[in-house]
Structure 1
Amino acid sequence: MKTEEPTVEEFGPDDPRIAAFHAVRDDVAYPTPDEPVPVGMRCLVAFRGGAPVARLSYGTGQDVGEVPGPCALIGHYERTDRSAGVWLLDEAVIRVCVGHQFHALGPINGSTWGRYRLALPPRTEDEGDAEPPFLSEPWNPPDYPADFEEAGFRVVATYESAIVEDLAAADPRRDELAERVRARGATIRALDLDRFDDELRAIFELSRTAFAENLFYSPIEFDEFRARYLPLRPLLDPEMVRLAEDADGRLLGFVFAFPDVLSAEPGGRPTRVVLKTLASAPEARGLGLGTFLTDEVRRVAHEKGYRSVIHALMQADNESVRISRHSARVFRRYALYELVD
C-alpha cells in the first residue's frame, strides 16, 4: 500500500516555524548541538498528523569545487518517519533543480565549512559504537545512508576518523622531522589566546590557500570563519593548537586540536583530544611538517594525561590519512552523496 504523502511547509531560517524544524532533531535525541541554517538556505519540514517528522535545508551553490555552475546543497537532514524523509529528499531536489540539468550534494549544511557527510554503519568490530561521538563529528542514526540511496543519491566521497591510543609512543621519525623543520628556519609555538583574532586571521588565510583544491571547497569570508571558531575558544588549550612559523613570522602550517568535552567522565575532565584541522602552506610541503605537527598534538596530549587523540574527518584519499595510519586505528567512516541528472 502506498504511503500517504506528508504535509510539507517551506520557510526561511528566521521564520517562527523554525521551532518545528528543530523539534525533529530533538526527537532523534542527538548527543551534539544543532547547527544554524545559513542565511539564504530554505527549510523544509514534513508533518504527519500535525507533528513534524522530517526536515532538511536546501539551497544553491555556485561553482562548488569541481562542479561547474549551480549545485543544489541539501543539509540538516533528520527524520523520525523514514518514508517522509525520503519523500522530502525527492521534494527538495525537485524544488531546487526543476527545469534544468542539475547536480545535488548532501548532506551539506551550506558549505564544507559547516557540518556535512553521514556517518556510515560499522564495517568491522573495530568500528562504530566502541567510540562514542566526539565534539564536531557528524552523527546520525545508522539507516540515514539508506534514505539517500533510496532517493537516488550515490556516494561521491568517503572520509574516516581514527584514534591514537598509545600516546606514549612518539613517531619514529620525530627527531629527523624536527631537524628538517629547524633547517627550514621554522619554529613551533602554541596559540596566543590574548591575540585570538589575529591568530585566527592567520589560520584563516592559510586555510583558504591549503584547502582551495579540496573536494567541493567553496570560499567564505573571515567573519563567517570567525563565527564558526569563536564557540570553541572557551574549550581551547592553547598548547594543543600548534603553529609553525618561518623566520619572518609567516605561518607555514598549523594543527588545531582541542579537548573533547563529550568524553568527560561524570565529575571529571575530558579523556580524549580531537585533532580537527591540519594544514601546511604550499611552500612548506615536503618537509614532513604535517607529520611533525600531528606528533606534537600526541606529545602534548600525553604530557597532559589524556588517553587518546582522534584524527577527525579525513578525506579517504587525503595526505592526512597517510600521516594518520602510522599510529591510528580507523573507528568511523563517513560519506558524502551526490545526485546527477
Structure 2
Amino acid sequence: MARFCALPGLGSLSPQSVQRHAPDDSLLLEQDGTASARCSLWWRAVPALPGERIGLLGHYAAVDIDAATRILHEACERLRASGCTLAVGPIDGSTWRRYRLITWRGDEPAFFLEPDNPDDWPLHFTGVGFMPFANYFSERCDDLEAYPADTKLAARLHEAGYRARPIEMHRIQDELSLLWRISTESFSRNLLYTPITEVEFKETYAPLLSVVRPELVNIFEHHGEPVGFLFALPDMLQAARGIPVDTVILKTIGVLPAQQGRGLGNWMTDFTFVAARKLGFRRAIFALIHETNVSRRLGRGQMRDIRRYTLFARHLGKV
C-alpha cells in the first residue's frame, strides 16, 4: 500500500486514508519495477442512479497517457465484471472526498482547498471512452463593496424570527456535530449523495480549524432552531504566495430542505459578505458549485467563472 500511495495524485494519500475509504478493489500498474498508475474501485456502497448500477473510480493517478489507458481499461473491466453498468470518476468513493478534474483553468491562481490535477488528466478519461457526467464551476466576486445586499430580504427574515450567530470555537466539537447534522440532511438530494459518518465529517474539518475566523462561519437559526450554515475561510494560499489575504472562500452552504425556497441562501451570503468586508476582505470565491445548484444564482450579476471542473462517466454495457 505504501507504493500505491507514493504515486503523486490528487493531493496526498496515506494508507490510513485508503483503509478508511474502504474501496472494494485497488489497482497498481508497475512498469519496469516503477509504479506508473493507480486507482481504487467501489461498487458495493455506492449511490443509486435510476437505470444504472454505478461503479466509482478514484484514488486516481497516472504518469502518462499510456499508463492511464492501461489502468482505466482494466478498472472498467473489473467494474463491468462486478455488475456495474456505468463507471464514474474520478471520485474517491464519495462526494464528501476528492472528486472531479479541472477542465478549464482560466487565469486565477489556485485557491485554498481547491483540488488540482495535471492538465492532461481529462484526456486520460476521454481517451478511453469517458464522457462528461456532471459539470462544476468556481466563481469570483471582485468587489465585495459593490455586491448588492438585499436589505428588504434581511428585514423580512428577521421579522419572521431568523437570526445568525458565529460558530462557537470553545465548544467546537458540538458545533461540528451540528454542521454534520445539517449537512447530511441538506445535501441528501445532491447528485451521487451518500451518507458520511460524523467521525469522518469531523476529521475532514479538523485541519481547517486553525484558520477559521468565527465571523465567517455562521449558523442560521429560526426561533432558536438551527436551519442552515455557511462555512467560509480566508484564502490562505494568498499568504503562501506572499501577498495580502484579501479573498474569502465560500466553501459550504447548507439549508435544511424544509427551509429552502425562502431566500435563506441569499441572506446567508449577504451576511457573510458584510462580515468579510468588516474584516478587510475585498473579494470572494464561490467554490466548486454544481452547474444546476441554486448557489449559481447567488451572485446577482457580480460573479464571473474562474474555473470549471468535470466528473466523467463511461457506459460499460451488460455483463
TM-score w.r.t. the length of structure 1 is 0.85
**Which residue does 2:109 correspond to in 1?**
132
Alpha-carbon contact 2:149-2:270 (below 8 Å) kept: no
2:125 to 135, 145, 148: 148
1:87 Cα offset (Å): 1.2
Relative to structure 1, is the Cα distance of residues 91 and 51 closer, same or farther in structure 2, using a 3 angstrom cutoff? same
**For 1:170-319, what aligned pairs fall within 5 Å after superposition?**
170-173=147-150, 175-247=151-223, 249-265=224-240, 270-319=245-294
Alpha-carbon contact 2:221-2:227 (below 8 Å) kept: yes
Structure 1 residue identity aligned to 2:122: P
1:34 Cα offset (Å): 4.5
Q: For 2:211 and 2:303, locate their aligned partners in 1 and report how far apart those are by CA, in whole Å.
A: 24
Structure 1 residue identity aligned to 2:284: V
Does 2:73 correspond to 1:96? no
Relative to structure 1, is the Cα distance of residues 106 and 156 closer, same or farther in structure 2, using a 3 angstrom cutoff? same
**Which residue does 1:22 correspond to in 2?**
5
Relative to structure 1, is the Cα distance of residues 61 and 272 closer, same or farther in structure 2, using a 3 angstrom cutoff? farther
1:172 Cα offset (Å): 4.1
Does 2:93 correspond to 1:116? no
- Aligned to 1:108, the other structure's residue is in SS state coil
Alpha-carbon contact 1:65-1:214 (below 8 Å) kept: no
For 1:32-68, what per-residue CA distance to the aligned partner results, in whole angstroms no more than 9, with x for missing partners? Answer: 5447324421332222222222222222244504357
For 1:202-258, what per-residue CA distance to the aligned partner results, in whole angstroms no more than 9, with x for missing partners? Answer: 1111111111110000112211111111111111111101111121x2111111111
- Aligned to 1:134, the other structure's residue is in SS state coil
1:59 to 35, 42, 58: 42
Query: Unpaired segments of 5 or more residues in structure 2?
Result: none
Structure 2 residue identity aligned to 1:131: E
For 1:245-290, what per-residue CA distance to the aligned partner results, in whole angstroms no more than 9, with x for missing partners? Answer: 121x211111111112112155565332211111112232232110
1:140 Cα offset (Å): 0.9
**Which residue does 1:125 correspond to in 2?**
none
Query: Unpaired segments of 5 or more residues in structure 1?
Result: 1-14, 123-127
Structure 2 residue identity aligned to 1:210: S
**Aligned CA-pair RMSD:** 2.1
Relative to structure 1, is the Cα distance of residues 141 and 266 closer, same or farther in structure 2, using a 3 angstrom cutoff? closer
Alpha-carbon contact 2:58-2:99 (below 8 Å) kept: yes
For 1:83-133, what per-residue CA distance to the aligned partner results, in whole angstroms no more than 9, with x for missing partners? Answer: 1012111111212331635221100011000011111034xxxxx2x2122
Alpha-carbon contact 2:39-2:57 (below 8 Å) kept: yes
Relative to structure 1, is the Cα distance of residues 267 and 170 closer, same or farther in structure 2, using a 3 angstrom cutoff? closer
TM-score w.r.t. the length of structure 2 is 0.90
1:71 Cα offset (Å): 2.4
Structure 2 residue identity aligned to 1:96: L
- Aligned to 2:83, the other structure's residue is in SS state coil
**Which residue does 1:165 correspond to in 2?**
142
1:196 Cα offset (Å): 1.0
The farther-off stretch of 299-308 and 191-200 is 299-308
Alpha-carbon contact 1:61-1:71 (below 8 Å) kept: no
Q: For 1:266 and 1:148, locate their aligned partners in 2 and report how far apart those are by CA, in whole Å.
A: 32
Alpha-carbon contact 1:158-1:335 (below 8 Å) kept: yes
Structure 1 residue identity aligned to 2:79: V
Alpha-carbon contact 1:243-1:254 (below 8 Å) kept: yes
Relative to structure 1, is the Cα distance of residues 49 and 210 closer, same or farther in structure 2, using a 3 angstrom cutoff? same
**Which residue does 1:4 correspond to in 2?**
none
